[in-house]
Amino acid sequence: MLNEEKYTDADKWLVDALKSEPNFILSENFADRMAEKMSRKFAWSQYLREFAIYAGVILGVVAVLAAVHIFLAGADWKSWAKFVTENLVIVIATASLLFFVLFTDRVLLRYFLHRSKIDSI
Amino acid sequence: MTDAELVQQILNGNSNAFRFLVAKHQRLVLHVVGRIVQRQEDIEDICQEVFMKVYSKIGKFRGEAKLSTWIARIAYNTSISHLRKEDRDELSYDERPALVAGETDESTHRQPMETDEVKKYLMLKIEELPVQYRTVLTLFHLEEFSYREIEEITGMPEGTIKSYLSRARKILKEKLEKVAKIEKTNIFTEYA
């Protein structure tokens, strides 16, 4: 009888300990900091997506114009290709500069503005 | 707000919805991560990693399981990966830990224990259990997940979960009884 009582009490102790909160802690503003991180990540991916759309549209327009020029207006594509290969460095540098300006305008500046806005709150 | 609505709000970039999700589930993640990793200095970083994974993968949440189960699975997998990276030998644990196999428990108190001390002693012993035992105990008793949900979270078969739970409780009970014998006082009567 005493043994049975003892085991019942042991079970109670056990359940009590198992249901008790362990001594681990997170900082008080953990949820706020996670929300900020999420907001920054969302903004970054959103701006990158917009940049990709802009870049795609610009490349598409250039491709359509080139196609119209060559196939419909009957321009000599070989002379165009020759111009590009002869001025490859300038063409690549100009294209890179344009995309960098677009990237800075559409992604970097907006992202840093967004960050400073969050930080100031 | 249902889980599906909350997920949709987060996908739309609503940071308040994500704050709500974190506040609602941070206790669960803390318990899972804490019980597996056990190092306070690592816990916050891993919890952050868990929630950033939750955010990155939330578009893949189909609502087949409860959101809490899905988050707990991410927390479990992240913590286990962390243990593997740290190369702690806990993951290749002995099915019968040394203390169960009859070795002397050095930490057993020689002084008479107060009621609170018994609870603290048991909590300490929970932390000394093998990682799988601690995990199933936490998920079952503290978070009140069902066997099926624990299976979804950990990937362990239901039979293994039941076996781990039963063995873990047996180990703890044996330790409690050992303390009672050593002290030669009936600590159990103080509980009532």
* Greater pLDDT, B192 or A39: A39
Residue B180 with chain A: CB contacts under 8 Å:
6, 10
A32: nearest CB among B19, B35, B127: B19
pLDDT in tens, B106-144: 454 445 566 677 788 888 889 889 999 999 999 999 999
Q: What is the pLDDT of residue B177?
A: 81
Q: What is the pLDDT of residue A88?
A: 93
* B53: nearest CA partner in chain A: A38
Amino acid making up residue B59:
G
pLDDT in tens, B70-95: 999 999 999 999 999 887 656 554 44
What DSSP assignment string belongs to B129-187? S-HHHHHHHIIIIIS---HHHHHHHH---HHHHHHHHHHHHHHHHHHHHHHHHHHTS-G
Q: What is the pLDDT of residue B102?
A: 44
Residue A33 with chain B: CB contacts under 8 Å:
48
Q: What is the ipTM of this complex?
A: 0.75
**How far apart (Å, rounded) are the C-alpha atoms in residues B11 and B151?**
28
Cβ contact (<8 Å) for A18 and B137? yes
Q: Are B59 and B11 in contact (CB under 8 A)?
A: yes
**How far apart (Å, rounded) are the C-alpha atoms in residues B127 and B168?**
11
Q: Which two tokens stand for residue A14?
A: 């056990």
Count of beta carbons in the 10 Å neighbourhood of residue B171:
20
- Which of B9, B13, B8, B22 minimizes the C-alpha distance to B54? B22
| Model confidence, pTM | 0.78
* Greater pLDDT, B55 or B119: B55
B52: nearest CB among A18, A25, A37: A37
Q: Of A103-107, B102-106, B118-122, where does the model show the most confidence? A: A103-107
Residue B186 with chain A: CB contacts under 8 Å:
6
pLDDT in tens, B134-183: 999 999 999 999 999 999 999 999 999 999 999 999 999 888 888 777 76
Residue A24 with chain B: CB contacts under 8 Å:
30-31, 33-34, 40, 43
The confidence band for A20, taking pLDDT boundaries of 50, 70 and 90, is confident
- Residue spans of alpha helices (H) in B12-66: 15-37, 40-57
**How far apart (Å, rounded) are the C-alpha atoms in residues A18 and A41?**
38
* Greater pLDDT, A118 or B160: B160
Cα B43 to chain center, whole Å? 13
Q: Which of A100-104, B63-67, B131-135, B161-165 has the lowest mean pLDDT?
A: B63-67
Q: Is the CB of A50 inside 8 Å of chain B's CB atoms? A: no
Please report, for residues B42, B111, B180, B181, the alpha-carbon distance to residue B108 in angstroms, rounded to integers and kept in the order given: 28, 9, 10, 11
**How far apart (Å, rounded) are the C-alpha atoms in residues A22 and A37?**
27
Q: What is the pLDDT of residue B183?
A: 65
